[in-house]
Amino acid sequence: MPNWRDELNDAVKTKAERDAEEAARQKQRVQEALASATGALALAVEAMRFANERIAEKGQPVKLTENESGARIDLGSLSLALELDRETAVIKVSFLEGKPREFDFARDRHIAAADVEEYVGRRTVELVRNAQKAQPW
């Protein structure tokens, strides 16, 4: 429990000092969350590789592009993209033309890597179903 001296020191801090402390805490949260986000990214990319293999087995024009911060799978004119912002520990999943779904690992500590993998897997299933509606195979 802080004594009155500690409370006084805290009470007299300037806005700049408070902002600097909050920025340092945020940076620490992001660093801790980045490990979880990186693991989730790896699982999601693996899900996209699996989808790429299954679709390619059927002779469909599928293309998987990977880089260090994410991946993208294109099936005809449809696509699913995955991106990790290392500055904020946020994974963005862009499906078709919709608004990206964001997984903020620094703010929402309850997010599991399997949650991201499941979401990407479900969007991949929707991608394939939409592609088959456009051009059945």
For residue 66, give the nearest of 89, 41, 91, 87 by alpha carbon.
41
Running along the chain, 137 residues long, what does each successive block of 10 average in pLDDT? 84 88 86 91 96 94 94 93 94 91 91 94 95 88
Question: DSSP H helical segments within the chain, as ranges?
Answer: 4-11, 15-57, 113-134
Confidence at residue 101, expressed as pLDDT on a 0 to 100 scale:
95
Query: Would you state the torsion angle of the CA atoms of residues 12, 13, 16, 18, taken in this order, to the nearest 10 degrees?
Result: -130
Confidence at residue 102, expressed as pLDDT on a 0 to 100 scale:
96
Q: How far is CA 61 from the centre of its chain?
A: 26
Neighbours of 105 (CB within 10 A): 26
Give the domain CATH number at 127.
Answer: 3.30.920
Confidence at residue 11, expressed as pLDDT on a 0 to 100 scale:
85
Confidence at residue 17, expressed as pLDDT on a 0 to 100 scale:
87
For residue 116, give the nearest of 37, 29, 35 by alpha carbon.
37
Instruction: Note the pTM of the prediction, 2 decimals.
Output: 0.81
- CA–CA gap between residue 97 and residue 29 (Å, rounded): 31
Confidence at residue 91, expressed as pLDDT on a 0 to 100 scale:
97
The residue range of the domain holding 117 is: 4-134
- CA–CA gap between residue 36 and residue 137 (Å, rounded): 38
Provide the number of structural domains found in the chain.
1
